[in-house]
Chain A
Amino acid sequence: MIRGYAGRVLDVDLAGRTFAFRPLDEETARLYLGGKGYGTRLLYDMTPAGIDPLGPANPLIFATGPLNGSVAPQSNRFAVVCKSPLTGGIGNAACGGSFAYGLKRAGVDVLVIRNQSASPVRLEIDGDRSQVAFIDASDLWGRGTGETQAVLGRKKHHAVIGPAGEHLVLFAGIVSDERIAARTGVGAVMGSKRLKAVTAGGSRKLEMDDPQAFKDYTKRLGAMFRRHPVLGDRLKRVGTSGIVSTTNPRNILPTRNFKYGHHPDALNVSGEYMADHALTGVKSSCIHCPVTCGRDVEIDGAGRVKGPEYETVALLGTNLDLPDLKRVSEWNHLADDLGMDTISLGAVIGFAMELREEGLFDAGVRFGDPSGVTDLVKDIAYRRGAGADLADGVRRMSEKYGGRRFAMHVKGLELSAYDPRGSYAQGVEYATSNRGGCHVQGASMYMESTGPLTIDPHSLRLKADLPVVMQNLACAINAMVLCIFTTYGMLPRFIHELSPHSRRHRALTAIVEHSGPLLRLVSGAKLAPLLWYEKWLTSITGERFTSGRLQEIGARIFNLERMYNLREGLTAADDTLPDRLLHEPTFPGMTSGHPLHLLLPRYYALRGWDRAGVPTSRTLKRLQVRV
């Protein structure tokens, strides 16, 4: 077995209450690494097209990667893969917390959950004895994610769902500690199996090819991360909510269901405001993470709890015209405990508010008014009243009540908090992302709009090239499985310390804007390990990794996801953005919205796809994607 892997896939059948440990397939691990890569390969091979995402035929796959179980910074994540009940296409989500660590200590690389239990059940995986206990979970059914984990024991490593998952809310997530695998409705799939929780543990240690090289490099890198302006300073001081201070003045902060990109009181939900007014402490919610981006805040009735992240303060704050940190913190805590994705939650409530303005549907909430929101969040989780409609997400709401023009989703997944009208590369990424409107399947906006570079977000240069490279890298990161924040380190400290008005900054920006071919050349090079990803993988697995090999693995995963979606009936017509973003300008001088039609043909060509957005047989052969 390749080093870095436990070498085992645990296959659990909930209907028959049986389990089996099977060997990990080495060839698949070489081609797809692990995490969502290995998981997608399994899902594609295990299932035919057209299965019911909430039926027994949809497997729920938890997957770790070769870096999990090491002390590599931000290597505490696991991936969940299944068919998405929200989008009908590929579903996946990644999560921090400690469950990945527990799985790897149990000697399990991949956990496959098949079929459905007749009654609420939870699993306890004892890796040392290679046993799985099926335990009645009737006493836990209905409890929140916090209470469930408290009952199961804080010192163990769990993945649990809350009431939202139990009630099949299509954007329910799976929670580990205080983190959530939030997107695409993976929690609803777990709920459909009546699986309340999985607990994993053992004493297996990660075997590395060259532990000394790994240790030495990680030590040096840790020091670099600690000195880094974003990883070591800004995220520690103000967390991810500090991003408000960049997106609001750049007109890309969702406001009133993405009608605007700027809110005059946005600073009230910024990380800086949180640090001054609400922060009760800082702690790293994820093990082996030196960044400590987590914020703790105090809220009435619950005490000290995890504070909201950027996406949450935007979607549940300015997007609802409610930049009120206290209320956003309460709704964030409530959503976490109920087990829901706060991005989709904020988006669907914002959509409901605009439906009311347009006289199409009244869920009892309106922009700028907090009354009714708390009850609506609960009603969504329990599918009560209007909440039952909102629990199906924005796309289904728009199909039922109208308002498709301002239904802010891509492929059925609600958009995250970067308005692509001020971030063109991010728009291409949203439109082409296999899981839908998501920002962590590439994160081009960091290179384009929220990072230290100031390339012109309204120019077409680089806007088709950048998403390809970033999406491939993100696929590889989600296969290792690492936190996407590790990419922040790619832009070195000196760039962050240049004045945006200096000649050097402008020269650097001009070079980057014209670097499309160079970007592909450097990222595709197979000469030697370049970044930490390749160096870690090389020292752990003993195999030679380069940025080119990582790009190839990422492209392989991305194309397999694409083939999965095509098999499910998605087409190039689904590679689009909401009408509002395509046709309504938000910047002076804009005559329309995002120029996706000018960028998509080049993106397809760079991907090796035909004009219909289908990967050519040559592309699939080159990438060794078997379909």
Chain B
Amino acid sequence: MSVTVELTYEMSKALGARRFEVEGAATVGDVVRATRERFGERAADFERLTRLAAVAVNGVLVTHRRGLRTAVADGDRVMFVQASAGG
């Protein structure tokens, strides 16, 4: 099972990639952990860049579902969301 992770612009800059695939994740929490692992020793960067970021699965914020326990399915798109952009 594979989900696509899309990062915010700042996270992309730090990691050098806009998106990547995560295999075997069952929940959003698994995906977030896999993303943190990609930051390796730059865990502090990950914490700084995601402190105010929400997470959406296929466009729906997980805060409206089961948070980090929200299940993910094959082919889902998990995206970090820049909060508070204006409008």
Residue ranges of A at the interface with B (Cβ–Cβ < 8 Å): 229-230, 234-235, 240, 242-243, 245-252, 261-262, 264, 267, 270, 272-273, 276, 310, 418, 422, 439, 443, 445-446, 449-452, 454, 456, 458-459, 485, 488, 496-501, 505-506, 509, 586-588
| A240 neighbours in B (Cβ, 8 Å) | 86
A272 to B13, CA, bound (A): 10
Question: Measured between C-beta atoms, what is the minimum distance from A441 to chain B in Å?
Answer: 13
Alpha-carbon gap, A180 to B13, bound state (A): 34
* Known contacts A243-B87, A446-B86, A500-B52, A458 near B60 by CB under 8 Å: yes
Closest Cβ–Cβ distance, residue A271 to chain B (whole Å):
8
CA distance A235 to B87 in the complex (A): 10
Per the bound structure, the CA–CA distance linking A499 and B81 in Å amounts to 12
Interface residues, chain B, with chain A CB atoms under 8 Å away: 6, 8-10, 12-13, 18-19, 51-54, 56, 58-61, 63-64, 67-68, 77, 79-87
Q: Known: A249-B6, A501-B67. Is A230-B84 also a contact (CB below 8 A)?
A: yes
With contacts A234-B85, A243-B87, A446-B87 taken as known, whether A250 is within 8 angstroms of B8 at the C-beta atoms is no
Nearest CB in chain B: distance from A223 CB, A? 20
B59 touches A267 (CB 8 A): no
Contact A242/B86 with A250-B61, A501-B63 known, Cβ cut-off 8 Å:
yes
CB of A456 within 8 A of CB of B64, answer: yes
Chain A residues with Cβ below 8 Å from B80 are 249
B87 touches A422 (CB 8 A): no
**Cα distance A445–B87 in the bound complex, in angstroms:** 7
**Contact A497 B52, beta carbon cutoff 8 Å:** yes
CB <8 Å contact, B85 and A242:
yes
Q: Are B10 and A272 in contact (CB under 8 A)?
A: yes
Inter-chain CA distance A456–B63, complex, in Å, is 9
Contact with A422, one of B13, B52, B59 (Cβ below 8 angstroms) = B59
User: Which residue of A249, A443, A498, A586 is within 8 Å of B56 (Cβ)?
Assistant: A249
Contact indicator A496/B9 (Cβ below 8 Å): no
Q: Are A452 and B83 in contact (CB under 8 A)?
A: yes
Query: Which residues of the other chain, A, contact B83 by a CB distance below 8 angstroms?
Result: 246, 452, 454, 496, 500
Tell me the minimal C-beta distance from A424 to chain B in angstroms: 12
* Residue of chain A at shortest CB distance from B57: A588
A-B contact pairs, 5 of them (CB 8 A): A240-B86, A246-B83, A422-B59, A451-B87, A458-B60
Give Cα distance in the complex from A586 to B67, angstroms.
Answer: 21
Contact A229 B84 (CB under 8 A): yes
Closest chain A CB from B69 CB (angstroms):
11
Alpha-carbon gap, A267 to B82, bound state (A): 12
A454 adjacent to B54 (CB under 8 Å): yes
Knowing A422-B59, A587-B60 are in contact, say whether A443-B84 is a contact too (CB < 8 A).
no
| Residues of A contacting B9 in the complex (Cβ-Cβ under 8 angstroms) | 245, 267, 270, 272-273
A230 contacts which of B51, B77, B86 (Cβ < 8 Å)? B86
Docked complex Cα distance between A249 and B85 (Å)? 12
Question: Which residues of B sit under 8 angstroms from A418, Cβ to Cβ?
Answer: 87
- Bound form: Cα–Cα A445–B68 in Å: 25
Contact A234 to B84, CB < 8 A, known contacts A267-B12, A454-B64, A458-B64: yes
Complex: A65 Cα to B42 Cα, angstroms: 53
Contact partner, A499, options B51, B58, B61, Cβ 8 Å: B51
**Do A485 and B58 have beta carbons less than 8 Å apart?**
no
> Is A443 a contact partner of B60 (Cβ separation < 8 A)?
no
Residue on B nearest A586 in the bound complex, by CB: B59
Closest chain B residue, CB of each to CB of A272: B9
Chain B residues with CB below 8 A from A261, complex form:
59
Whole-angstrom distance from the CB of B85 to the nearest CB of chain A?
4
New A-B contacts (17) at CB < 8 Å, excluding given A229-B84, A242-B82, A246-B81: A234-B84, A234-B86, A242-B86, A245-B8, A246-B82, A247-B85, A248-B79, A249-B6, A250-B81, A251-B59, A267-B9, A418-B87, A446-B86, A451-B84, A456-B61, A496-B83, A496-B84
Q: Which residue of A lies closest to B67 (CB)?
A: A501
Chain A neighbourhood of B8, CB < 8 A: 245
Which listed residue, B13, B61, B68, touches A454 by the CB 8 Å rule?
Answer: B61
Chain B residue at smallest Cβ distance from A500:
B54
Chain B contacts for A272, CB-based, 8 A? 9-10
Collect the chain A residues with CB atoms within 8 Å of residue B85's CB: 230, 234, 242-243, 245-247, 450
Residue of A nearest to B63 (CB): A454
Which residues in A have their C-beta under 8 angstroms from that of B77?
A: 262
- Interchain CA distance A229-B80 in the complex, whole Å: 19
With A245-B8, A246-B85, A499-B51 as given contacts, are A509 and B63 in contact (CB-CB < 8 Å)?
yes
CA–CA, A248 and B8, complex, Å? 10
CB distance from B84 to the nearest CB of A (A): 4
User: In whole Å, how far is B78's beta carbon from the nearest beta carbon of chain A?
Assistant: 9
A495: nearest residue on chain B (CB-CB)?
B84
* Minimal beta-carbon separation of A225 from chain B (angstroms): 13
What B residues does A485 contact at CB under 8 A? 86
B84–A452 touching, CB < 8 Å? yes
Name the CB-closest residue of A to B58. A588
Q: Which residue of A lies closest to B9 (CB)?
A: A272
A506 CA / B84 CA spacing, docked (Å): 15
Closest beta carbon of chain A to B31's beta carbon, Å: 13
Docked-complex contact A450 and B87, CB < 8 angstroms: yes
B57 to chain A, nearest CB (A): 8
* Cβ-defined contact, A450 with B54, below 8 A: no
Docked Cα-Cα span, A566 to B12, in Å, equals 51
Specify the chain B residue showing the minimal Cβ separation from A587. B59
A506 to B86, CA, bound (A): 20
Residue with the highest number of chain B CB atoms closer than 10 Å, among A418, A439, A458: A458
Q: Which residues of chain B have C-beta atoms less than 8 A from A270's C-beta?
A: 9
| Contact, CB under 8 Å: B64 / A499 | no
Q: Contacts of B10 on A, CB cut-off 8 Å?
A: 272
Instruction: For A497, list chain B residues within 8 Å (CB).
Output: 52
Q: Which residue of A lies closest to B10 (CB)?
A: A272
Inter-chain CA distance A505–B83, complex, in Å, is: 12
Contacting residues, chain B, for A500 (C-beta < 8 A): 52-54, 61, 63, 83
B58→A251 contact, CB < 8 A: yes
Distance of A240 from chain B, by nearest CB (Å)? 6
Question: Which residue from chain A places its CB closest to the CB of B59 in the assembled complex?
Answer: A251
Q: Tell me, rounded to whole Å, the shortest Cβ–Cβ distance linking B36 to chain A.
A: 14
Complex alpha-carbon distance, A273 and B53, angstroms: 18
Residues in B whose Cβ lies below 8 Å from that of A230: 84-86
For B59, the chain A residues whose CB sits under 8 A away are 249-252, 261-262, 422, 586-587
- Which single residue of chain A is at the shortest CB-CB distance from B54? A500
Residue in contact with B18 in the complex, picked from A267, A498, A505, A506, CB distance below 8 Å: A267
Q: A501-B67, A587-B58 are in contact. Are A488 and B86 (CB under 8 A)?
A: yes
